[in-house]
Chains A and B, each alone.
Chain A
Amino acid sequence: MANTTQRDAFWTRIYEMARQDRDIIVVSEDMGAPALDQFRTDLPGQFVNVGIAEQIGLLLGGGLAFEGKRPFIYAIAPFVTLRCLEQIRVTNAIMNIPVTLVGVGAGFGYEDSGPTHHLTEDIAVMRAFPNITVHSPADGVCARAIAEMSRTWPNTNYVRLDRKPMPEIYPPDADFSRGFSVLKSGRDGLIVSTGVMTHTALEVAGVLEKKGKQLGVVDVFQIPTQEDGLAAALKDAPRIFTVEEHFLPGGLGSYILEILNTRKMAIPVRRIGLDHAKGYCYQYGGREVVHEYYGVHPAGVQAAIESELR
């Protein structure tokens, strides 16, 4: 398994496409990436740097999209979303002008940068809007596929990317058309996860398997996803565990509960994520330290699951 970053996998694909498609425009809010350096060099007419100015970044992208361009508006995740949220609401949700918002460092991607650079509310916030889809890949293969989908995505999508190299989960020819993927099946329950936490889910499922418990893993990389398909994949599970690097209210766990509730599916759900009671985290020394603070490190997730399986 190769180690790639989602960020570079995403931008590499955008670059490849942009070489053939002059309507692909990168609007950077003073944000780079190794894979964007070549884009800037080779396609300067399709790269606009607005500086540290998220409002004009979003509005400029909206104006470009109004004229038929597909802008990819790029910044650190909290800034490309929350800093210009009301502009997103008017331009992308209300007016339904399609752009792609690319945020790097969702969750604790900037682990030692503290809470200003952590982003643990974005799924709840962005999925509250009609006409906006959240894409939350778990690896570079998925990130690349999302890059490709974004070019023709009919509405606005927000892509939350990680910047750290991590092993690939998906084979290069994986099918991402359903918005979720069943990575592993298991009779004792299903772990539903998104983004980097899918790695944790797989790890924990592996550990528990050695202890005789069969847990499946479902990666939800798109919200809203193909909900009927996901409901069908969940329906026989005796219990569901949702795992996310995000505050619990409004996040992936809430989304799963809504899907079950709408369909009157009575499956016990244990949501594992960040508790509001823990507030924001000022601890340093790596992502694992932050995860441990909230109890979403592999041992914490495992303990939470085991407590329900007893």
Chain B
Amino acid sequence: MTGAGQMRREHGMDKLIAALEKKSQEIRGTVLDMCINAGTGHVTSSLSATDILVTLFYGNILRHDPKNPTWAERDRLFISKGQASPLLYTILADRGYYDRADLKLFAQKKGRFGVHMQKTVPGAEITCGSLGQGFGLAAGSALAAQMNRDLYMVFSLLGDGECHEGSIWETAMFASHKRLNNLVAIIDRNYQCVTDFTENIVALEPLEERWASFGWNVKRINGHSHRELLDALTGYRSRRSTRPLVIIADTVKGNGVDFMSCVPLWHGIAPKDGEAARAREELKRRFSDG
């Protein structure tokens, strides 16, 4: 099918993608600044997942209301990799859940939030940081929706290293058995844990086959492509499948800051002094190059 309608849609899509790219760049800058300011925070874990969460929050995917964070019909987002809290906090502030000024007090005295995600932050849903847990809670929420015939969708953002946890696979097995097709897992596949690359520690691949064998619909995409993210998530609310959906989003940990991005030991660390300036510079250069 071609024609003016499709062209308009494509034009609209291009505009949306351009806007998402701009937003991702802005969010990355804020994440980096707040972690440098605090002297702590999981910078690289946040930068790998930025495009994923920006697509959810700004790509008309997630149904939510910043003025009413506990709105019963909202889509649930259970971030299971609670290390990405600087990212989520930045986005929630930007979307108006609370004042942007709160970000300046990240992990500091009288601040409202710290290094790992906490449920007391409006929009954060759960306390997380101990891995393998948010995903199981998400399955419980999805099951409750089925029991109550509620229409909200449940998203869960997983780390790939988190998939070493047995509880992830207990949940995966349960969710497909119960046909929780209202559950969408997105794996931030950045290939890195704290001390090494996942494939050197305990190999996760073939990850697609593993999830498929657990009864899930699997899509594997470039997790830094807003177009691919939008494609993968389009129609998620009306998928004609009884299976839960997992999107394996290949990403780069620390994406945007090259000197941090292929070094596992940058996990959980904010750059200081000269490295902070260099990180800001690299981020700026990377995205202004297009």
Residues of chain A whose beta carbon lies under 8 Å from any beta carbon of chain B: 22, 25, 45, 48, 50-51, 53, 55-56, 58-69, 86-87, 90-91, 94-95
In the complex, per-residue mask of B138-159: 1 if CB is within 8 Å of any chain A CB, else 0? 1111111101100000000000
A95:B140 contact, CB within 8 angstroms: no
Q: Do B140 and A87 touch (CB < 8 A)?
A: no
Contact call B144/A64, Cβ cutoff below 8 A: yes
Q: A63-B138, A63-B143 are in contact. Are A87 and B167 (CB under 8 A)?
A: yes
Which residue, A50, A67, A68, A86, has most C-beta atoms of chain B within 10 A? A67
How many of chain B's residues touch chain A, expressed as a range? Answer: 20 to 34
Contacts A55-B132, A55-B170, A59-B133; A94 near B140 (Cβ below 8 A):
no
Is B97 interfacial (CB 8 A cutoff)? no
Q: Which of A53, A55, A60, A90 contacts B140 (CB 8 A)?
A: A60
A217 to B103: give the CA distance in the assembly, Å. Answer: 57
Distance in angstroms between the alpha carbons of A48 and B171 in the assembled complex: 13
Question: Is B112's beta carbon under 8 Å from chain A?
Answer: no
Q: CB within 8 A of A63: which of B136, B148, B170?
A: B136
B174 located at the interface, meaning its Cβ lies under 8 Å from any Cβ of chain A in the complex: yes
Q: Out of A22, A45, A56, which one reaches B136, CB within 8 Å?
A: A56
Q: State the CA gap A289–B22 with chains docked (Å).
A: 73
A18 to chain B, nearest CB (A): 13
Q: Is the interface of B mostly helix, strand, loop or mixed?
A: helix
Q: Report which of B119, B126, B143 forms a contact with A48, defined as CB distance below 8 A.
A: B143
Known contacts A56-B170, A63-B142, A69-B144; is-contact A95 B126 (Cβ 8 Å): yes
B127 CB contacts on chain A under 8 angstroms: 90, 94-95
Q: Which residue of B lies closest to A46 (CB)?
A: B147
Beyond contacts A55-B166, A58-B136: 18 other A-B pairs, Cβ-Cβ < 8 A, are A50-B174, A55-B170, A56-B171, A59-B136, A59-B171, A60-B139, A60-B140, A62-B136, A64-B140, A68-B144, A69-B144, A86-B130, A87-B133, A90-B130, A90-B133, A94-B127, A95-B126, A95-B127
Closest to A99 in B: B140
Q: How far is the CB of A52 from chain B (nearest CB, A)?
A: 10
Set of chain A residues within 8 Å of B139, measured between Cβ atoms = 56, 59-60, 63
